[in-house]
Amino acid sequence: MTLLQRVVVPVATEDDAAETCAALSPYLDEIEQVVAVHVIEKAGGGIDKAPLEKRQEDAEDILDVVEDALGDDVAVERDTAYGTDVVETLLAEANGHDATAIAFVAREGSRLVRLLSGDTSVRLVTEATLPVVALPNE
């Protein structure tokens, strides 16, 4: 088993999916399966950001980007997950898919934005129970 045998790849937007696929492409020879995961964040009793149907349609479009970019070179599994905490949900999905690693491209943002948002990248790296690979951001 290799580190990148079954990789969970979180994707938030279509642009993020395209950027992540481009960064992952040089490593496809080492990967058997990519599990693309889009998390629909629920408000936990509050008002959601958008109607669920719209967010599900958006998730399908985002996951289409991954399948279109990588599907000819590696097995791609698509997964839409729901949760009130994106990091916890991603980690649960990774464990549920028996992932060997999580691979992602850290998103841009100022220190203030990262502080206010809880810096998902830092939480993903520090709370994971499996290897996390930060892909280069060009």
pLDDT digits (tens, 9 = 90+) for 76-135: 999 999 998 889 999 999 999 999 999 988 766 545 444 444 567 777 878 888 999 888
Q: Residue 54 falls within a domain, yes or no?
A: yes
The single residue listed with the structure tokens 């279109």 is 68
Residue 25 clears pLDDT 90, i.e. is over it: yes
Number of domains the chain is built from: 1
Separation of alpha carbons 104 and 91, rounded Å: 13
Domain coverage including residue 51: 6-134
pLDDT average, residue stretch 68-77: 97
Alpha helices in the chain (DSSP H): 14-24, 52-70, 86-96, 111-117, 120-127
Separation of alpha carbons 93 and 36, rounded Å: 10
Q: Residue 68 falls within a domain, yes or no?
A: yes
Per the CB < 8 A criterion, the answer to whether 84 and 41 are in contact is yes
Q: What band does 47 get if pLDDT is binned at 50, 70 and 90?
A: low
Q: Residue 44 falls within a domain, yes or no?
A: yes
Query: Which pLDDT does position 135 carry in this prediction?
Result: 87
Q: Residue 110 falls within a domain, yes or no?
A: yes
* CATH code, domain with 61: 3.40.50.620
Query: Which pLDDT does position 129 carry in this prediction?
Result: 85
| Lowest mean pLDDT across 5-9, 11-15, 45-49, 84-88 | 45-49
Q: Residue 108 falls within a domain, yes or no?
A: yes
